[in-house]
């Protein structure tokens, strides 16, 4: 069955008085009861069923079933946000005080803050490394005591793409698990578990839901990882509500269709930006001279995602803010993956808390903007960017 078909039919609801509802029902109940107390006792003892919404909810289970099918995973667990999902996956990996977590130096600022401000004070040894090179991977993994490696399928915001299968092999050989944040690619471009990753994490707020109206997260994994993921969700309480689960499930139905348009629009916008005299550099893995183009083409099946970043020649912070103010269709928002095009200034948003020298070291400069290309008409987006770039 092809992905587009799975997206539409995955997570379908069961019978309701003999009929199948086309849309999964929303079950907002906080708790559940049974005809016999023995049934409740059985569920409390581990039998499949529903007891309390912090443990399981029918709408949430439908979403998890859909994501697992999209990811070719044994199962998936939904959480109240992408950060809650990431936190749970890190804890489920078994990291303990004294263990090392190796993280790509090119990664979302929230992930950096979680590692440095929550996990490091608990005794985890946090190591950042350039994992886009073989030398960087070998140096990071040979340090000893590495329990977990964290990367993104497409890095935020510089759009680097590493070979997940090769890294998974090296991480496992070093005794570490591999956690892949697949938010930027979504299951429409690839499935990290098939490449050897142990966890595939998504901020479902982004491409999975796709409409900017819900916050959520999900982790897909093999069967042996699911009990730990479920246990941390129950104890820490980062659950996803029934309404949010329904919205994400609704968004998944159009994910493959939306991603086709995201990818095509991004290609056209990237080509326009590259030819504009005010643009110094464009970051887009679809360009043949991108350092990771070959890996991206192979890994994502010839598509390159809906994200484009670019630098404006000679622009400082004030000029970048004025440029953003001139945009009409590209909305200044700290998110991505929506049907509308969103523009984000990393220096003031995703990487605001990173020290300026560290930002410069990894290549996040004051003249950098990140675009999450929507499904609008590409010509209108190009015209909007053109008038904004030429407004001064």
- Spatial separation of the C-alpha atoms in residues 222 and 196, rounded to whole Å: 11
Q: How many helices (H) and strands (E) does the chain have?
A: 15, 12
- Spatial separation of the C-alpha atoms in residues 344 and 132, rounded to whole Å: 24
- Spatial separation of the C-alpha atoms in residues 151 and 200, rounded to whole Å: 10
List residues bridging with 76 in a β-sheet: 220
- Please state whether 314 falls in left (phi above 0), alpha (psi between -120 and 50) or beta: left
Active-site option among 12, 34, 52, 54: 54
Contact predicate 81/205, CB 8 Å: yes
Burial degree of 71 (CB within 10 A; 0-12, 13-18, 19+):
buried
108 classed as catalytic: yes
338 classed as catalytic: no
3-state percent helix, strand, coil for the chain, nearest multiple of 5: 40, 15, 40
Contact predicate 106/162, CB 8 Å: no
Active-site option among 50, 79, 108, 345: 108
DSSP string, 246-312: HHHHHHHTTHHHHHHHHHHHHHHHHHHHHT-TTEEEEE-TTSTTSTTHHHHHHHTTT---SEEEEEE
First-to-last alpha carbon distance for the chain, in angstroms, is 52
Active-site option among 127, 191, 206, 267: 206
DSSP E strands in 39-197: the ranges are 75-79, 100-104, 125-129, 146-152, 177-181
> How large is the greatest C-alpha to C-alpha distance in the chain, in angstroms?
73
177 classed as catalytic: no
Q: Which residue in 184, 206, 182, 242 sits closest to 54, CA to CA?
A: 242
181 classed as catalytic: yes
Active-site option among 181, 198, 338, 384: 181
Q: Which residues are catalytic?
A: 54, 108, 181, 206
């Amino acid at each position: 069955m092809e992905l587009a078909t799975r997206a539409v039919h995955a997570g379908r609801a069961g019978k309701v008085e003999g009929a199948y509802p086309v849309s999964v029902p929303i079950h907002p109940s906080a708790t559940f009861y049974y005809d016999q107390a023995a049934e409740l006792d059985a569920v409390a003892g581990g039998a499949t069923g529903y007891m309390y919404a912090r443990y399981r909810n029918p709408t949430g289970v439908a979403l998890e079933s859909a994501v697992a099918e999209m990811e070719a995973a044994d199962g998936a667990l939904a959480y109240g946000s992408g950060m809650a999902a990431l936190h749970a996956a890190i804890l489920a990996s078994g990291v303990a005080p004294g263990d090392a977590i190796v993280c790509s130096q090119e990664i979302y600022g929230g992930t950096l803050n979680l590692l440095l401000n929550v996990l490091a004070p608990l005794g985890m040894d946090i190591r950042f490394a350039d994992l886009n090179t073989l030398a960087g991977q070998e140096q990071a993994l040979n340090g000893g005591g590495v329990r977990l490696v964290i990367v993104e399928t497409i890095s935020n915001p510089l759009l680097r793409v590493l070979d997940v299968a090769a890294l998974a092999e090296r991480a496992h050989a070093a005794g570490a698990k591999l956690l892949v944040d697949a938010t930027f690619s979504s299951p429409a471009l690839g499935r990290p578990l098939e490449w050897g990753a142990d966890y595939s994490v998504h901020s479902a707020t982004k491409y999975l839901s796709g409409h900017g109206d819900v916050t959520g997260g999900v982790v897909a994994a093999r069967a042996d990882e699911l009990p730990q993921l479920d246990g941390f969700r129950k104890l820490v309480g980062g659950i996803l509500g029934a309404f949010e689960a329904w919205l994400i499930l609704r968004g998944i139905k159009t994910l493959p269709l939306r991603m086709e348009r995201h990818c095509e629009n991004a290609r056209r916008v990237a080509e326009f930006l590259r030819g504009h005299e005010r643009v110094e550099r464009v970051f887009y893995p679809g360009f043949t001279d991108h350092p990771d183009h070959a890996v991206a083409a192979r890994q994502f099946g010839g598509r390159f995602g809906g994200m484009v970043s670019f630098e404006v020649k000679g622009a400082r912070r004030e000029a970048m803010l004025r440029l953003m103010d001139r945009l009409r269709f590209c909305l200044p928002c700290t998110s991505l993956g929506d049907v509308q095009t969103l523009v984000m200034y990393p220096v003031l948003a995703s990487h605001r808390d990173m020290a300026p020298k560290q930002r410069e070291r990894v290549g996040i400069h004051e003249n950098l903007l990140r675009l999450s290309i929507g499904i609008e008409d590409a010509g209108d987006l190009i015209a909007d960017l053109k008038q904004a770039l030429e407004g001064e």
